[in-house]
Amino acid sequence: MSSKPQDSTWLDQVKWNSDGLVAAIAQDAASGRVLMMAWMNQESLLLSIASGDAVYWSRSRSKLWRKGESSGHVQKIHSMSLDCDGDALLLQVEQIGGIACHTGRQSCFYRQLQERDWQSTEAVLKDPATMYKSVDQ
């Protein structure tokens, strides 16, 4: 049984990958459904804790991504857990508007493998073209 160093903080216990990121899984706090997976860096984790709203790191845009900043589909954090290896976070969230996926679906995990083909098993709740507003205005 190993013990953590006395001077180790909660933030030091997160095992960041070589890019300074950790996987973050958002799960609906009420239903238990997995909504999405994203990445967090230290800044986004600290901002999430400070605000109570999920803030992620967008690898494609190389910037902070405040979930819902353009769609209005904010994630209110109910609790946060670190896995046994320290390399993944689980966020229990309230998904405002019921849509977590940029495709307009409740969950990003809407495709199931059926007969060696990925089949969409969930309807689009809102057209993505009408969902996003510019955050630069």
**Known binding residues for Mg(2+):** 83, 85, 87
Binding residues: 83-85, 87, 101, 108
Residue type, position 48, single letter:
S
Question: Do 39 and 21 meet the contact criterion of CB atoms below 8 Å apart?
Answer: yes
Q: DSSP of the chain, one letter per residue?
A: -----TT--TTTTS---TTS-EEEEEEETTT--EEEEEEE-HHHHHHHHHHSB-EEEETTTTEEEETTTTTS--EEEEEEEE-TTSSEEEEEEEEGGG--STTSSS-S--EEEETTEEEE-S--SS-HHHH---S--
Question: Which residues carry a binding-site annotation for Zn(2+)?
Answer: 84, 101, 108
